[in-house]
Amino acid sequence: MICTTRSRPADRVHAAHRRNGVQEYVVWQIEDARVDWFVLEEGAYLSLSPDADGRVHSRTFPGLVLDVEALLEGDNAAVLRLVQSQVDTEAHQAFVERLGTGNP
């Protein structure tokens, strides 16, 4: 996650992340009260949109979900509750098992 109060040229950030094999990353733009979650697809970063509940779901890490509205409102307890609730899901458990085999 990048947490910033200053804007950085997106193309430079995308290029650096692409070069380093970053599949997804999150930018929290504090002054703009905005969170962008980017995912690499076919060599380009696309911005994921929150669902109807204001949440963004990772495509790379099953069970990783961010409550964007809660984060922007400073409700860190709600953000943490959501993340913790996803740890017991079948998708997350399967991902953890794959990590243990070295094949995420």
pLDDT at 97: 86
18 — phi, psi (to 5°)? -60, -45
Query: Are residues 16 and 39 located together in one domain of the fold?
Result: yes
Query: Are residues 40 and 55 located together in one domain of the fold?
Result: no
Amino acid letter, 46: L
pTM of the model: 0.78
Number of domains in the chain: 2
pLDDT in tens, 21-52: 999 999 988 888 999 999 999 999 999 999 99
pLDDT at 94: 85
User: Containing domain of residue 87, as a range?
Assistant: 50-104
Query: Are residues 54 and 42 located together in one domain of the fold?
Result: no
pLDDT in tens, 1-26: 555 545 566 778 888 999 999 999 99
> Which contiguous run of DSSP H or E holds residue 47?
strand 44-48
Q: Tell me if residue 23 falls in helix, strand or coil.
A: coil
